[in-house]
Amino acid sequence: MSTTATMGEMANSVVDFYPKQGGGGADANHAGDFGVTLDELQSLMELRGPEALQKIQESYGDVEGLCQRLKSSTSDGLSDNLIDLEKRRQTFGQNFIPPKKPKTFLQLVWEALQDVTLIILEIAAIISLGLSFYQPPGHESEGCGKVSGGVEDDGEAEAGWIEGAAILLSVICVVLVTAFNDWSKEKQFRGLQSRIEQEQRFAVVRNGNVIQIPVAEMVVGDMAQVKYGDLLPADGILIQGNDLKIDESSLTGESDHVRKSADKDPMLLSGTHVMEGSGRMLVTAVGVNSQTGIIFTLLGAGEGEEEKKEKKAKKQDGAVAMEMQPLKSAEGGEVEEREKKKSNVPKKEKSVLQGKLTKLAVQIGKAGLVMSAITVIILVLYFVIETFVVEGQTWLPECTPIYVQYFVKFFIIGVTVLVVAVPEGLPLAVTISLAYSVKKMMKDNNLVRHLDACETMGNATAICSDKTGTLTTNRMTVVQAFLNDQHFREIPDPSQINPNTLEMIVNAISINCAYTSKIIPPDVEGGLPKQVGNKTECGLLGFLLGLKRDYVPVREQIPEEKLYKVYTFNSVRKSMSTVVQMPDGSFRLYSKGASEILLKKCSGILGANGEPRSFRPRDRDEMVKKVIEPMACEGLRTICIGYRDLPCDPEPDWDNEAEIVTDLTCIAVVGIEDPVRPEVPDAIRKCQRAGITVRMVTGDNINTARAIAAKCGIIQPGDDFLCLEGKDFNRRIRNEKGEVEQERIDKIWPKLRVLARSSPTDKHTLVKGIIDSTVLEQRQVVAVTGDGTNDGPALKKADVGFAMGIAGTDVAKEASDIILTDDNFSSIVKAVMWGRNVYDSISKFLQFQLTVNVVAVIVAFTGACITQDSPLKAVQMLWVNLIMDTFASLALATEPPTEALLLRKPYGRNNPLISLTMMKNILGHGVYQLIIIFTLLFVGEKIFNIDSGRNAPLHSPPSEHYTIIFNTFVLMQLFNEINARKIHGERNVFDGIFGNPIFCSIVLGTFVMQIVIVQFGGKPFSCAPLNMEQWLWCLFVGVGELLWGQVIATVPTSHLKCLKEAGHGPGTDEMTEDEMAEDEEEIDHAERELRRGQILWFRGLNRIQTQMEVVSTFKRSGSFQGAVRRRSSVLSQLHDVTNISTPTHVVLSTANASAAPGNAGGESVP
C-alpha cells in the first residue's frame, strides 16, 4: 500500500489534517524539529514483527533511541508544554479522522423535491399556470357550448393563475418543512456522535503522572498506558508489556489473538482491541496517518470515483450489496464500524417497528394510487360524455385550451386524492418520535447509539443483567477475612495478626494488583475515597489501608518494570499472578483469585503462628464449608490470596503456566461486599410487572449470586426457579458430542433466573438460545447488559445491548446499542418506558392520520364522481396534509411517557400496529365525519340558506357552501387529534394534556391559522369568509368529535369480530428471496455509498491476502466461540447463491463467514 501516493491523491481533500507531502523542503525542516519524519514513521508502522524490530535497530538503535528522537521519555512521557504539543500536531497531524461532510440544507431540499407525488403536483400546477395565461382568441366563442359559459368576467379570468401558484407555494412549504426536519435530525445525530467520541478517554503519561485525556488530544511521542479492554486510539510501539494479547481481526480479518511483546512483535495498531494484559506504548502515528486513518483516506478517495460509476452500476448494485454482506459480518467491519459512527447508519436488520410501518405504508400507498386513478378516469369520462355525446358538441380548435384546462383540473384533483392518501407523515413521525425520545433519554442516563434500539427496548421480554456494577454499586469493600486460622467478621486490628503474615499480605496485595488500580483521597471532606481502576483490586487495597498499612512504598520499591512475569486476569483463569525476583536471585509468585479455584491449587496455608503448614483436600473441604460458603451466603465475593517460592536455578519455564501457578501457600481468604444499589429492587419489581423477566448472569460464586438475586428480588421464595452454575448449564444443554441443542436450552431458560460462574460463551449461548427459542408463540426480545470485553459477543447477539458508561470497556461500548451513563439498572427501566412510548406515539399518529386519510379520500372520490369537482380543493388538501402529517406527527410523537406504560405486557413482534381498538376508533370517527360532510355537501345550502357550491363552472369565485365543508373538516380533525392521544380505549382523553406544551401550542396554532385561511384566504385557498353563526356551527360539529369519541369508547371491541387488524410485522416465512434482495436494494443512499467504499477496500484487502489464509481459516472454523453477526442463516445461504456468479467472491465470502465464529466478540471499533 503505497501511502505516499495515497497521501498525494488525498492531499486536496484533507489538507487541514496533516502537512502536505511536498518536496524535500518540508521533510527537511521536520527533521530539524524532531529526529524523525512523518514518512519514516509511516513506513515503519507498515512493518510487522521481526522486520519492524530490525528496522528500529538499524535506524534508531532501539526503541529508546526512537523515543529520544521524538523528544519523549519512556518513564515520564511528554511534558505538558502546550507549544511542544501544538508543534507535534503541526508536524505529525492530529488524532482525528475528519467525518464525512454533512449534507447541506440545499441538498436536503433537493432530496425532498424528489418525492414522486410532489413532482406530479408541480407539473400539474405549472400546466395549470401556463393555461390560465392563455386567452383563447374570439373570447366569446359560442361554439364551445356551456363550457365557456363558466368564464364570467375578466376579473375572474385574471384570477385563474392563483390556484396553480398556490399549489406551487404549498409544495414549497412541504419541501422546506421536510428538509428542515431532516437537517435537524442530522444535526442531532452529529451532536450525539461527538458526545460519544468526547467520552472516550485514554491514559497517557505526562510529566511522569498518569492522566486521562480525550483521545483526540493524543500526539505522536505520547507514552500511553494500554490495558485489558482498551481500543487502541493510535498506532504505537510497545515499550513494556505484560502478557499482552491483541485482537487484530478488525484490520487483518484473522480471528486469533496476536501476542505482543517488546522483544518479538512490538507494533500496536489503531482500531485493534486489547484482549488481555497491559503495557505501555510510544505513540508513533495518529489520525489520518495511523493504519485505520490510511484506510479511511483510501475510502475517501474511492468514493469520488465511485459516484461516477453509480449511474451505470444501479442494476448491479443489488448484487454488489449482497456480495458485501458476508464480508461485513465476518470482519465486524472495522471500516464499517468507524463509518457507522460517522454517518450513524442504522443496523441492518429492520427494527420491528420499521418492518411493520414499511409494509403498512406500501399497502396504503397502493390503495391511494388506485383511488386517485379511478377518480381521474371517472371525471374525464363524465366530462367527455356530457360535452361531446349528450350535448353533441364537436371539438373545435379554439376551444382546446378550455378543454385542456378542465383536464388539468381533473388531473390535479386526482393527484390531490393521492397526496392525501399516501401517509408521507409516517417516516416523519417515526423520526421525530425517536429523535425526541433519544434526546430525552440522555437526561435519563441512556446514550442511544442506534436509534431503533430505543423502540426495540419497548418490546423487550427478557433482560440478562450483569451483577457487578449494574445491580450493585461497584464499590468493593473487604468486610470479612480468614487469616492465621481465624475468621474475622470485620477488618481486624493489625495487632491481632502475626507480623510475618501481615508483611506477606501487604506485599501480595500491593504487587499483585494492577499498578493502575489506586485509591485516591475524596474530593470533598468526609466523602468516600475514590476508587480508580479495577474495583475488586481497589477493595483489596482498601483492606490494606484498613490494616493501617500503605501500598505506595511497596510499589515504589518494586516499580512495574521490575515485575519479572505477570499472568494477567482473564475470564478463563479467573486469577492473576505476578512473579518478582527476590534479592537472593530466587523468585516469588503472588497469586489472587476466585477462592474455589485458587484453593484447589494450594498445598499449604499460613497457620496461627504465621508459619506455613500443610493444607490437604480434607482441610480444603472443611474451609469451604466453614468459611467460604457462609461468606458467600451473605452475598460476599470471596477472594483467596496465596504465594509460592520458586528456585532461580534451574529457572522455571514461565510459559508453562499450569506448572507454575500450583502448589501455592494460602495467606488469607477475604470476603468482599458489593452492596445492592438502593433503587434496584424497585426497578426489578417494575420490570416484572411490565412482563419482563430479569435474569442475572454473573461470574461470581453461586451462593453469592443467589444471595444478591434474593436481595434484588430477581428470585422470590416460593417461586419455581433455577439457579445454575456455568458447568451445570453446559452439561444440561449439550448432547453427547458436546454440541448445544435448542430443545435442551428450551427446557431450562424459562425457569432460569441466575447463571453463576458463567463464561462469556455461556452468556452468549443463553442469549442466543432465548432468542432462537420457539417454545412461546412470541419470539423473545432480549436485552443484555455488559461491561467487560468478553461481553462483546452477547451484547452483539442481543436485540438491545446495554454497555456501562463508567465501568464499561471500549469494546463493550462498541458492541452495544445503548450506553448507560450511570451504570444503573433503573435506567434500563426508563429505556423500556421510552421504547413503549415511541411505539404508542406512532400508533396514536397512525390512528389520527388514517382517520383523515379515509375520510379525505372518500370525500374527494365520491364528491368528484357525483359533482365533477372535489369538495376539497388541491390547496386545501395540501393544508390538511400539512396539519395531518407534519404538525400532528410533532404533536403526537412528543407525548412524554407515563408510569402507566409499565403496567401492560410487551406487544411482541408479531402484534399488529393497528389494534382492534384503534381500528374501531378509525372507522367510528370516519363514519361520523363522512355523515357530517356528505350532509353538508348535499343539503348544506338548505340548512344554512346559502347558494349551492355544487357544479360551479371553472374559475368561479369560492362559495360559502364549500368553505363551510372545508372548515368543518379541519375542525373535526383538530378535535379528533385530542381523541387520538389515547389508543387503548381510555375515557379521559385530556389526561396529562398540559404536560405536553408542544401538543397544546400546535393545536392552538393550527386553529388560529385555520381562522386566518378561512377569513382571509380568498381565491388561493378557495375560501369565502364565514359569519359568526356559521363558525359556531362548524365548531359545534367539531366538538361533537369528542362526544362521539366517548360513544365509540362505550362499544366493546370484543363484539366487533368483523374488524381486522392491520400492519402485522413481516412474517419470516413470507419473505421470498426476491423480496430479500429488494430489501437489500432499498437500503438508503448513505449506506450504499459507504458500502461501495467498503467493497473496494475489502476486495483489495482480500485479494492481497493469499488463499493460504483462506485455507487456514477453514481449518479453524470448527471452534465456535464468538458472535456471528445478527443476520441469520437464511441470509448467509442467500449470499452464497448470489455469489456464485463470481467464483473468487464465493471463496472469500465463505471463508469470511467461517472466520466469524472464531472472532470472539472483539469485532467492533468506534
Do 225 and 267 touch, CB atoms closer than 8 A?
A: no
What is the SS3 assignment for 457?
A: helix
Q: Is 466 among the residues known to form the active site?
A: yes
Sign of the dihedral defined by the CA atoms of residues 253, 256, 259, 265, in that order:
negative
- CA 404 – CA 426 distance, rounded (Å): 35
What is the SS3 assignment for 709?
A: helix
Nearest in space to 799 (alpha carbons), one of 762, 838, 772: 772
Residue 812: left (phi > 0), alpha (psi -120 to 50), or beta? alpha
* Catalytic annotation, pick one of 182, 243, 466, 840: 466
Residue 518: left (phi > 0), alpha (psi -120 to 50), or beta? beta
Cα angle 272-698-603, degrees, rounded to a multiple of 5: 95
- CA 26 – CA 90 distance, rounded (Å): 12
Environment class of 397 (CB within 10 Å of its CB; exposed 0-12, middle 13-18, buried 19+): exposed
Which helix (H) or strand (E) covers residue 213, if one does? strand 209-214
Strands 818-820 and 477-483 turn out to be: unpaired
- CA 633 – CA 630 distance, rounded (Å): 5
Which helix (H) or strand (E) covers residue 281, if one does? strand 273-285
Report CA dihedral (1141, 1146, 1149, 1154) to the nearest 10 degrees.
150
Give the position of cell 458472535.
1123
Which helix (H) or strand (E) covers residue 389, if one does? none
Give the position of cell 426480545.
781
Nearest in space to 412 (alpha carbons), one of 829, 94, 124, 149: 124
Strands 664-673 and 752-756 turn out to be: unpaired
- CA 1099 – CA 1153 distance, rounded (Å): 15
Give the position of cell 395531518.
884
C-alpha cell belonging to residue 597: 479455584
- CA 1024 – CA 1020 distance, rounded (Å): 11
Do 794 and 760 touch, CB atoms closer than 8 A?
A: yes
How many Cα atoms within 13 Å fall on the side-chain side of residue 169? 11
The 8 Å CB, 24+ separation contacts for 397-402 are 398/136, 398/137, 398/138, 398/141, 398/143, 398/144, 399/136, 399/141, 399/143, 399/144, 399/147, 399/148, 401/131, 401/134, 401/136, 402/136, 402/144, 402/147, 402/148, 402/151, 402/954
Which helix (H) or strand (E) covers residue 130, if one does? helix 116-133
Sign of the dihedral defined by the CA atoms of residues 738, 742, 746, 747, in that order:
negative
Q: Which residues contact 595 (CB under 8 A, 6 or more apart)?
A: 628, 638, 639, 640, 669, 701
- Please state the length of the chain: 1166
How many Cα atoms within 13 Å fall on the side-chain side of residue 266? 24
- CA 1075 – CA 396 distance, rounded (Å): 51
Instruction: Please give the single-letter amino acid code of residue 114.
Output: Q
Q: Which residues are catalytic?
A: 466
